[in-house]
Amino acid sequence: MLLKSVRLLFMGFMFSICALVANAQLRLPEGYFWKKLPNGLEVLVIENHKVPLATIEIAVKNGAYTEGSEYSGLSHLFEHMFFKANRDYPNQEVFLKRTQQLGAIWNGTTDVERVNYFFTFDRDSLKAGLNFMNAAIRFPIYREEDMKKERPVVDGEFQRAESNPDFQLWFTVQQHLWGDLITRKNPIGIHDVINTATPEKMMVIKNKYYFPNNSLLTICGDIKHEDAFALAESIFGDWASSGFDPIQKYPIPPFKPLEKTEFFVKEATIAQTPTIMFSWQGPSYLKDSASTVAADVFSTIVGLNASKLHQALVDKGLASGVSIGYTTSKYVGPIDIFVSPNPNKLKECYTELMNQVSHFADPDYYTDEQFKDALAILLRNNMYSKEKPSTLPGQISYQWCSTSLNYYTDQAANYQKVTREDISRYIKKYIAGKPFVGGLIIDPALNKQVNASTFFTAR
pTM: 0.92
The dihedral formed by the CA atoms of 268, 271, 274 and 278, expressed in degrees to the nearest 10: -70
Measured at the CA of 170, the angle between CA 167 and CA 171, to 5 degrees, comes to 85
- What pLDDT is stored for residue 24 in this prediction? 62
> 321 and 314 in contact (C-beta within 8 Å)?
yes
Residue 445: strand, helix, or coil = helix
- Say how many CA atoms lie within 13 Å of 190 toward its Cβ: 16
Domains of the chain (ranges, CATH numbers): 30-249 (3.30.830.10), 262-454 (3.30.830.10)
Tell me the H-state helices in 198-345. Answer: 199-209, 225-236, 246-249, 289-302, 308-310
- What pLDDT is stored for residue 459 in this prediction? 73
Residue 437: strand, helix, or coil = strand
What does the alpha-carbon distance between residue 128 and residue 192 come to, in Å, rounded to a whole number? 38
Sign of the torsion formed by the C-alpha atoms of 132, 135, 140 and 141: negative
What does the alpha-carbon distance between residue 18 and residue 366 come to, in Å, rounded to a whole number? 42
**Phi and psi angles of residue 394, each rounded to the nearest 5 degrees, phi first:** -65, -35
- What pLDDT is stored for residue 458 in this prediction? 83
Spell out the per-residue pLDDT of the chain, length 459, in tens: 333 333 333 333 333 333 333 346 999 999 999 999 999 999 999 999 999 999 999 999 999 999 999 999 999 999 999 999 999 999 889 999 999 999 999 999 999 999 999 999 999 999 999 999 999 999 999 999 999 999 999 999 999 999 999 999 999 999 999 999 999 999 999 999 999 999 999 999 999 999 999 999 999 999 999 999 999 999 999 999 999 999 999 999 999 999 999 999 999 999 999 999 999 999 999 999 999 999 999 999 999 999 999 999 999 999 999 999 999 999 999 999 999 999 999 999 999 999 999 999 999 999 999 999 999 999 999 999 999 999 999 999 999 999 999 999 999 999 999 999 999 999 999 999 999 999 999 999 999 999 999 999 987
Q: Which of 136, 113, 107 is nearest to 66 (CA)?
A: 113
Residue 375: strand, helix, or coil = helix
What does the alpha-carbon distance between residue 407 and residue 448 come to, in Å, rounded to a whole number? 49
